[in-house]
Amino acid sequence: MDHFAYRDRTLLCEDVPVPELAEKYGTPLYVYSEAALLARLTEVQTAFKAADPIIAYSVKSNGNLSICRLMAQHGSGFDVTSGGELHRALTAGGSGKKIVYAGVGKSDAEMRDGLAKGVFLFNVESEAELHALGAVAQSLGVKAPVALRVNPDLPPKTHAKTDTSVKGVKFGLDIETVVDVARSVVGHPGLAIVGVHMHLGSPILSAEPYRQGAAKAVQLVKAFREMGHDIRFLNMGGGFGISYRKQEALPAAAFAEVILPAVKETGCQLVLEPGRFIVGNSGILVSRVVFTKETGGKRYVIQDAAMNDLIRPTLYDSFHRVWPVTPAADVPTWPEDCEAAIPNTQPVDVVGPVCESGDFLAKGRHLPALSRGDLLATFSAGAYGMAMASNYNSRLRAAEVLVTGRTHRLIRRRETFADLTACEDDCLR
């Protein structure tokens, strides 16, 4: 979290003290660092430079328009998985020439829209989808550019809810049958099979699954070409992990080392779909302590961010560092091991106001004594944070702020009660 650092015992995002942001914009508040976002995008672009890749930022990880615009302005394309995400990518300034359309359940309308907007690659995940896309393209008098998404049957071991390349998940075409599927559409008037796609899961902390996946992809590229398909794209998806706890993640260069040789062997253009790697550690969630309480022998810190703001802990058992924005002098500002029993701390559950026992940001975490009004930072919250936020319990979704050096600006205003009922007001009788 290079661009989030403590100075004089106060957390800063770039050069802006986080308490100043909380004061101005209120809490809960997502705070992003522009420098961090660009540094991570540049890291991927540099690591894979030799392959002249299309880096398609994965909109699902954080679709904020201003973040997407920043990506587009700095050379990124987009990986979208719905009509809504395509709308975001285009509104932010993206071009179909750098947009890849993923998803197991694209509707005809979404296919039509993607074709009309000139999406350069559709990742196709089933035979049924392939034929539906072919028919839609034919009806428009065009050929849909397709990468067949293969499930390579590799276990990167992320989490049961985020493993996408183990046998039996809903994603992709089975590696045993994908060659037959490719053969069955040779010469199809509505389909141009131009690529191979795989997305191995997320977050992945080892390069080995990519090495194995890329080797399988090379074989498929060869097989598809032998049957006459003009394969030009090798899409290795996203999934590069980030450090949530210590320094457990790999640099982009480690993934490049195992992917680039495969790209070279095939002569394909590389496509990557990173999301978390770019935005995950570029954002934090700032919240304010509402109450503390002890019950059943446990201590609770109740603060104003909840599972509707950041669902990852309860959905995936995910770990996020949580630490005071202005820690007292008797605790470290950045404990090396944030899971350890740090001196002058006590174990607490950090929970939110939502009416669910599963509403927590951290459990059994060693934190210093906290009081009503204290600010907390939940780190590594940039990816799959706001993107998965909801209005559950009719809570208003948080505001988002982008920091650039000493300046900051709102990139999504806090919702209002009017926003909450906007889609229902006209239906009220």
Ligand X SMILES: Cc1ncc(COP(=O)(O)O)c(C=O)c1O
Give, as ranges, the residues between 18 and 57 that touch ligand X (CB under 6 A): none
274 is in an annotated binding site: yes
Asked if 190 and 134 touch (Cβ cutoff 8 Å), the reply is: yes
Q: Which range in 44-52, 223-231, 236-244, 338-346 contacts ligand X by CB under 6 A?
A: 236-244
Spatial distance between the Cα atoms of 373 and 287, rounded to a whole number of angstroms: 9
In Å, how far from its chain's centre is CA 73? 19
Of 213-221, 269-277, 349-357, 370-378, the window that binds ligand X (rule: CB under 6 A) is: 269-277
Instruction: Give the interface size with ligand X as a residue count (CB under 6 A).
Output: 19
* Spatial separation of the C-alpha atoms in residues 123 and 111, rounded to whole Å: 11
**Taking contact as CB under 6 A, which single stretch among the options 270-278, 307-315, 387-395, 410-418 is the one that binds ligand X?**
270-278
Residue 400 Cβ vs ligand X, minimum distance, rounded to whole Å? 18
**Is 239 assigned a ligand-binding role in the annotation?**
yes
Q: Which is nearer to ligand X, 178 or 383 (CB)?
A: 383
Per CB under 6 A, does 216 bind ligand X?
no
Q: Which of 4, 67, 6, 13 is nearest to 41 (CA)?
A: 67
Could you say which of 13, 338, 355, 427 is catalytic?
355
Select the residue interacting with ligand X from 96, 238, 283, 382 (CB under 6 A): 238
- Dihedral Cα 136, 139, 141, 145, nearest 10 deg: 10
Nearest residue to 322 via CA among 345, 353, 293, 343: 345
Residue 244 or 277 having the CB closest to ligand X? 277
Which is nearer to ligand X, 300 or 316 (by Cβ)? 316
294 known ligand binder = no
Name residues contacting ligand X, limited to 387-426 (CB under 6 A).
none
H/E run at residue 41:
helix 34-47
Q: How far is it, in rounded angstroms, from Cα 55 to Cα 51?
A: 11
Q: How far is the CB of 287 from ligand X (least distance, A)?
A: 23
Q: 288: annotated binding-site residue?
A: no
The interface region with ligand X, picked from 14-22, 271-279, 358-366, 398-406 by CB under 6 A, is: 271-279
Selection from 206, 331, 297 nearest residue 257 by Cα: 206
The answer to the question of whether 257 is labelled as a binding residue is no
Please pick, from the candidates 53, 209, 213, 239, the single residue that binds ligand X as defined by CB under 6 A.
Answer: 239
Q: Residues 96 to 115: which contact ligand X by CB under 6 A?
A: 102
13 among known catalytic residues: no
Q: Is the backbone of residue 400 left (phi > 0), alpha (psi -120 to 50) or beta?
A: beta
What does residue 122 show for φ and ψ, rounded to 5 degrees? -105, 120
CB 286 within 8 A of CB 238: no
Q: Which of 27, 58, 64, 378 binds ligand X (CB under 6 A)?
A: 58
State how far the Cα of 14 lies from the Cα of 423, in Å rounded to an integer. Answer: 38
* Amino acid symbol at 3: H
Backbone phi and psi for residue 68, each to the nearest 5 degrees, phi listed first: -60, -40
Q: Is 415 annotated as a binding residue?
A: no
Q: Does 274 bind ligand X (CB under 6 A)?
A: yes
Residue 300 assigned ligand-binding role? no
CB hemisphere CA count around 25 (13 angstroms): 29
Q: Residues 179, 180, 181, 182: is their CA dihedral positive or negative?
A: positive
Strands (E), 67-199: 77-80, 99-101, 121-124, 144-151, 173-174, 191-197
237 forms part of the interface with ligand X (CB under 6 A): yes
Binds ligand X (CB under 6 A): choice among 28, 172, 190, 203: 203
Among 27, 151, 202, 303, binds ligand X (CB under 6 A): 202
Among 276, 321, 397, 408, binds ligand X (CB under 6 A): 276
Does residue number 287 form part of the binding site for ligand X (CB under 6 A)?
no
Residue 410, helix vs strand vs coil: strand
Q: Which amino acid is at 113?
A: D
Site mask, ligand X, residues 300-339, x = CB under 6 A? ----------------------------------------
Asked whether residue 276 is marked as a ligand-binding residue, the answer is: yes
Residue numbers belonging to the annotated binding site for pyridoxal 5'-phosphate: 239, 273-276, 384
Residues at the interface with ligand X (CB under 6 A): 58, 60-61, 79, 102, 164, 199, 202-203, 237-240, 273-277, 383
Where in the sequence numbering do the catalytic residues fall?
355
